[in-house]
Chain A
Amino acid sequence: MIAWLLEPLQFGFMQRALLVAVVAGTVGALLSCWLTLVGWSLMGDAVSHAVLPGVVLSYIIGIPFGVGAFVFGAGAVGLIGLVRRTSRVKEDAAIGVVFTGLFALGLVLISRTPSDTDLSHILFGNLLGLSTGDVVQIVVLGLVTVAVVLARHRDFTLVAFDRVHAHAIGVDPRRVEALLLGLLALAVVVALQAVGIVLVVAVLIIPGATAYLLTDRMEPMLAVAVAVAVLAGVVGSYVSYYANVSTGGSVVLSLAVAFVLAYLFGPRHGVIARYRTARKPVAADT
């Protein structure tokens, strides 16, 4: 068993993959908690798809892909807000228009780029094929994101819970939300190479949604979300190595399995527990 676990670790690519799975999982999991609570899951989906043209342009110009991805991710958030504020189109439609438009722009750019071998890596991730440079970029951005989250997490929770109170005590909810969306764009960049554009949104939703089914407190929720994401990252990497299947796919599938387990067996909010409490007579609550 131990040999089975250690064998892949002798390879550099597997060490890098596990490191990135842990970093990307942690970053995505932290943000997923507030995205779940605020109801911004679709925003995570939008930002992750909208970065595609940024990534392609970065390859063409020859700058770190994270720069272009961040510019387009943050730009998509701004565009969505602009369309929503300046027209009668509602937010979900604005999100749909902006992200599919930008994603399509990315596809068109890829088809005109001479070296299009990286397309599947961008779309579906390349966790087992990361270079040291990629890893450095991911770890640095990941640490920055985690540091900002740790410093400002109480304001995120404040605004997610009660915007009006936040406003009344002198906090500008829009600024806090803008910071959260900026971090969301950074998180997309961090998780992009691990699981790919198409599945990044899973890392930004499933850990938080799973933890939400398992706890009633914010700080445990953050811890559980991170644990779920890291575990799924490691399990997914091993499954991918031994079964020779898509790494991004196995990581996200592991996340989905974790969610299903929490959904079924969550001690208080799982469907089985809910079914049992619903049949028991409720004790009077005074």
Chain B
Amino acid sequence: MTVLDVRGLSVRYGEVIALDQVDLQLGASTVCGLLGANGSGKSTLFKATMGLIRPYAGTVRIREGDVRTARRSAAIAYMPQAEAVDPDFPITAREVVLTGRYGRMGITRRARAADREAVDDALARVGLADLAGRQIGRLSGGQRKRVFLARAIAQDAPLLLLDEPFAGVDRGTQDAMTTVLHELRDDGRTVLVSTHDIAGVDTLCDRAVLLAGRLLADGPPAEVVTPEVLGRVFGIPPVREGEAR
């Protein structure tokens, strides 16, 4: 089954064309890298996938239903960029992760035993069991990222959208998160990871798509992340043979 099915998607902000005729189909058990420079439309594609903006043309379907149905069944998990979060907010790591379960709860969002179990499990999987009671501002940047990954895990959604998960995190955190994302993939999830940093894409992803308003390339990371393509998109001159970094 196609988990995410984007067809002919165009998004405009006034006169500015943010996305132009984008097609993207993702099946289950995939980690797909969404590569592109700042302003290439990565965030816009995420917003359209969550139904936060209305497409100018084209459709987004999730598990063969519309976005609204997918939202209602908590089928989309979203991990925000670090800057989108107020670190002073009076909330602990555990409470953040618990909000991943809210879509499954009644109107008052009272947690049941199964919810608490899912939260403990998700925190353990990202290695934060010991810090669950900390206010999020007293966690390091990498730990805070892992809190939001745990929230997505606790939500138990088939489709995970991760917005720049590796921006500003250390190598250890990146490796740990990569392991968890591979586990999620092997468990049948579809993970779409946006990044403007191409390092690590080949180890993390089974597939990569390159976005610059339009979809420029789509395939195995080794074929997409080539010096020529990157030079065209990011304006980096290709590194010649023998030119050590």
Contact of A169 among B52, B74, B92, B96 (CB under 8 A): B74
Q: How far is the CA of A161 from the CA of B155 in the complex (A)?
A: 17
Q: How far is the CA of A37 from the CA of B74 in the complex (A)?
A: 26
- A162 adjacent to chain B (CB < 8 Å): yes
- A114 adjacent to chain B (CB < 8 Å): no
Q: How far is the CB of B147 from chain A (nearest CB, A)?
A: 11
Q: Is B72 a contact of A151 with CB atoms below 8 Å? A: no
Q: Is B90 a contact of A168 with CB atoms below 8 Å? A: no
- A7 adjacent to chain B (CB < 8 Å): no
Q: Closest B residue to A211 by CB, please name it.
A: B90
Q: Is A151 a contact of B107 with CB atoms below 8 Å? A: yes
Count of chain A residues with a beta carbon within 8 Å of a chain B beta carbon? 26
State which of B20-28, B80-88, B192-200 sits at the interface with chain A.
B80-88
- B203 adjacent to chain A (CB < 8 Å): no
Q: Is B90 a contact of A218 with CB atoms below 8 Å? A: yes
Residues 42 to 78 of chain B near chain A (Cβ within 8 Å): 50-52, 71-74, 76-78
Chain B contacts of A221 at CB under 8 A? 90
Q: How far is the CB of B139 from chain A (nearest CB, A)?
A: 9
Chain B contacts of A161 at CB under 8 A? 85-86, 89, 91, 96, 99
- A133 adjacent to chain B (CB < 8 Å): no
Contact of A217 among B51, B92, B140 (CB under 8 A): B92
Provided the pairs A155-B109, A216-B135, A216-B137 are in contact, do residues A165 and B99 lie with their beta carbons within 8 angstroms? yes
Q: Closest B residue to A215 by CB, please name it.
A: B90
Q: Is A168 a contact of B140 with CB atoms below 8 Å? A: no
Q: Closest A residue to B72 by CB, please name it.
A: A170
- A152 adjacent to chain B (CB < 8 Å): yes
Q: Is B135 a contact of A217 with CB atoms below 8 Å? A: yes
- B202 adjacent to chain A (CB < 8 Å): no
Provided the pairs A162-B85, A165-B99, A218-B95 are in contact, do residues A212 and B78 lie with their beta carbons within 8 angstroms? no
Residues 116 to 174 of chain A near chain B (Cβ within 8 Å): 151-152, 154-155, 157-158, 160-162, 164-171
Q: How far is the CA of A160 from the CA of B71 in the complex (A)?
A: 19
Q: How far is the CA of A152 from the CA of B102 in the complex (A)?
A: 12
Q: How far is the CB of B73 from chain A (nearest CB, A)?
A: 7
Q: Is A168 a contact of B108 with CB atoms below 8 Å? A: no
Count of chain B residues with a beta carbon within 8 Å of a chain A beta carbon? 34
Q: How far is the CB of B20 from chain A (nearest CB, A)?
A: 24
Q: How far is the CB of A134 from chain B (nearest CB, A)?
A: 32
Q: How far is the CA of A38 from the CA of B74 in the complex (A)?
A: 24
Q: How far is the CB of A157 from chain B (nearest CB, A)?
A: 7
Q: Is A170 a contact of B74 with CB atoms below 8 Å? A: yes
Q: Is B52 a contact of A164 with CB atoms below 8 Å? A: yes
> Given known contacts A151-B107, A155-B109, what 15 new A-B pairs fall within 8 Å (CB)?
A37-B89, A151-B108, A152-B108, A158-B109, A161-B99, A162-B80, A164-B80, A165-B151, A167-B71, A170-B72, A170-B103, A216-B90, A218-B90, A218-B91, A285-B140
Residues of B in contact with A (beta carbons under 8 Å apart): 50-52, 71-74, 76-78, 80, 84-86, 89-92, 95-96, 99-100, 102-103, 107-109, 135, 137-138, 140, 151, 155, 161
Residues of A in contact with B (beta carbons under 8 Å apart): 37, 151-152, 154-155, 157-158, 160-162, 164-171, 212, 215-218, 220-221, 285
A–B Cβ pairs within 8 angstroms, 20 of them: A37-B86, A37-B89, A152-B108, A157-B91, A161-B85, A162-B85, A162-B99, A165-B100, A168-B50, A168-B161, A170-B71, A170-B72, A216-B135, A216-B137, A216-B138, A217-B90, A218-B90, A218-B91, A218-B95, A285-B140
